[in-house]
Each structure stands twice: as C-alpha cells, then as structure tokens.
Structure 1
Amino acid sequence: MIPLVQEGTMACADIDMDIHGEDEDLHRAGRREHTLVRHYQATELVPGVKGPLHDLLQKQPAVLGSVQMMSGLVSVGLGFVFALTQEMGDSLITMFRISYLTGIMFVVAGIISNLLFKYPELLPVSLRVNCGCIIVAVVSACLICVDLANWNRQQEQHLRMEVLELCVLGLEAFLSAILCYWFFKEKRTKSQ
C-alpha cells in the first residue's frame, strides 16, 4: 500500500502498480507509430480512521461559536453606549452591567466552541460554559423586561437599545441551546 496525503490527513489506498498501456505489443513488434500515455490508477480507497468528535465537527460548531463571539462583541458595544449615555441608577441594564457580563460570557463560549476542532477534550467545558450562558441570558432578559415595563418617555432612545440588547440575548441563548444539544448528544454517545 502507498499512503496518500491529502489536506493534513493520512489515507491509504490499495493501488494496482501494473503499467496499463496498449503500446506494449507495438513496441515488441518494433513499430512505434504512436505513443500512448501510461498511468497508474488506484483501484480501491481505504477509508481513514475517524478522529474524536468527528460527527460533531461535521456540524460545524465553530461557525456557531463565531456567531456567538460576534453577538458578544455587539453586547459589549451596547454596554459602552449604555454606560456613556445613562446614569448608573437609570436602568437595571446599566446598574448590573448586563451587556458587559453577557457579552464577555458569549465571547468566551464562542472561543471555546472554536477550539473544539483542535482540542476535543474541551467538550465538557464547552457544554458547561454554554449552559451557564443560557442561564445568564435568561436572567438578563428578565431584568431587561423589567426595565422595559418601567420605561418613561424621556428614555425613548434607550428603549430601542434595550430592545436591541434583548434581541441579541435571544440570539445568543438560541445559539447556546443548539450547541448544548449537540454537545450533550456527543457526550452521551461518547460515554456509551
């Protein structure tokens, strides 16, 4: 067998090493009218060994992790806007620094989800971090809803930003829920 290297993975193939060509008879007879191309052709490919978390990595959790990081950065940016435009006691979102907390948590969760490709042993850590992100997002969404229920006309622009933060939290919680489902499913099949 001759190993074939392709994109960083090792695969083996059972290759027929006979030279295929019809010009052998012409060569023996002493005639060289035309030259045929000789080539080697693999007759059977041997499948490679699946790595750890192969089925999970086929679902591309790194893509969802990247979206988590981007939405986390949006939350941190909204936190800066809230901090610069509101007094500390004006809203719960500013008082508890909800945007910063959720933004940083989702950036960390996204980084860990992206690292799963290189470090599959981070699967339990990523599962726990994403579950924690869901809990923090739900509590934060409840605090934002309390803020929205108590808004007044002077805070019209802050109302829109809080609704935007609530939408970003919904997206972040949805992404974490999908990742938690995939990670839990992979962890369960791995332990069986």
Structure 2
Amino acid sequence: MACADVDMDIHGTDEELLRANRREPPMMRHYQALELLPDNKRPLHDLLQKQPAVLGSLQVVSGFLSVGVGIVFAVTQEMGESLFSLFRVSQLTGALFIVAGVVSNLLFKYPALLPVSLMVNCGCIIVAVVAACLISVDLAHWTQENDQHLRMEVLELCVMGLEVFLSAVLCFWFSKERLDKSP
C-alpha cells in the first residue's frame, strides 16, 4: 500500500474560469502518490511466508487419524496383547500432534508462541520415535492370529512417519527463524 505526504488543496481555479469562458472541455485532475513508503513487516514475516499453518493443519488431521486408530485398537484388542494397546501409543501420539498442529496454526496470530511450538514439535518427534520402537517390538512378535491388527499397526507406523516428517520440517523452520532473530 502506497502512502504519500501530498498537498490536497485544489489549485488553478482561475484557469478553470478561463476555460469555461472559452467553452473548452474541463480539465480532469487526479492525485498520485509521489513517494512510496515501505510496508512494516510483521513479526515472523519470513517464516509465515512458508505457510507453517498448512503443516500444522496436516499435523492436526494426522493426529485425529492416530486417535481414531487407537480407539479402534482399544475396542478390538485385549489390553495385554500388544505394547501398542497397553501403552495407548496411538492416543498419546495423536493427542500430542493435535496440540502441536494447533500451536503451529496459532503462530500467525501469536508470534510469541514460536519457542513453545519448537519445543512441542521436538517433543512430538521424541515421543513418536519411542512409539515407533514399541510398534516395532509388536511387529517382531507377530503371530498369524492377529493379522488384522498387524495391518493397523503398520498403518499407524506410516502415519507416525508422516507426523515425524511434518514436525521435523517445522522444527527446522522454527529453529532457523530463532537463529535469524537472535542478537
């Protein structure tokens, strides 16, 4: 948006009277900005150009998918059958990624949440790695009778891989922004 400091008074009324007496068409006048002033950049402008809210929204959606898979596991499987259902891995990682996605979405309105979002996303990566290890142990002890649960654990492992990738990208962007802004 352009701004200018221009005198807005209309000058030249004598010329208009002379034109009116000679029956010439009136002269059109318009105002134009003479000096462009730069726009003020908001905090985290460069980071927000990368659209972290989109990745945050993907985190929320994948978190809901994880919670849904966890609910299906809780209903269809005995508590002690696998580490996945015993420790409620899917519900825990899903809830954490929902929180991380919401915090990443709030950065546009509240730039002071940048360190919180960085820490939450780093924590999500750590929890997801531990959860992937628990799922791997379950997959190593796989038996023929729980074939359907195996597929769902593999689905959850893939969803966690997506969540870790999203969090890693966001952590990289957030840490880069923090390093750029530090004195």
Q: Report the TM-score when normalising by structure 1.
A: 0.85
2:18 alignment counterpart: 28
- Aligned amino acid, residue 13 of structure 1: C
1:42 is paired with a residue whose SS is coil
Please report how far the alpha carbon of residue 143 of structure 1 lies from its aligned counterpart in structure 2 after TM superposition. 0.9
2:123 alignment counterpart: 132
Contact 1:89 1:95 in 2 (8 A): yes
Which of residues 52, 71, 77 is equivalent to 1:86? 77
Paired with 2:23 and 2:76, the residues of 1 have a C-alpha distance of: 88
Query: 1:83-128, CA deviations, whole angstroms, 9 ceiling, x for partnerless residues?
Result: 0110111111101100000000000011111111111111111111
- Aligned amino acid, residue 154 of structure 1: E
For structure 2, list consecutive stretches of 5 or more residues without a partner in the other structure.
none
- Aligned amino acid, residue 172 of structure 1: E
For structure 1, list consecutive stretches of 5 or more residues without a partner in the other structure.
1-10
More strand by share: 1
1:171 alignment counterpart: 162
Q: Which moved more, 1:52-61 or 1:101-110?
A: 52-61
Contact 1:74 1:103 in 2 (8 A): yes
- Cα distance 1:149–1:31, how it changes in 2: closer, same or farther (>3 A)? farther
Which of residues 23, 46, 54 is equivalent to 2:45? 54
Alignment of 1:149-160 (within 5 A): 149-160=140-151
Contact 1:130 1:176 in 2 (8 A): yes
1:63 aligns with 2:19: no
Q: Report the TM-score when normalising by structure 2.
A: 0.88
- Cα distance 1:157–1:36, how it changes in 2: closer, same or farther (>3 A)? farther
Which of residues 114, 118, 132 is equivalent to 2:105? 114
CA RMSD of aligned residues (A): 2.4
Paired with 1:42 and 1:189, the residues of 2 have a C-alpha distance of: 34
Count of residue correspondences: 182
- Aligned amino acid, residue 161 of structure 1: M
1:105 alignment counterpart: 96
1:143 alignment counterpart: 134
1:41 is paired with a residue whose SS is coil
RCO comparison, higher one (Cα < 8 Å, 6+): 2
Which of residues 158, 161, 166 is equivalent to 2:152? 161
More helix by share: 2
Paired with 1:167 and 1:38, the residues of 2 have a C-alpha distance of: 65
Contact 2:16 2:26 in 1 (8 A): no
Paired with 2:106 and 2:38, the residues of 1 have a C-alpha distance of: 26
The runs of at least 4 aligned residues of structure 1 exceeding 4 Å deviation read 15-20, 24-27, 31-37
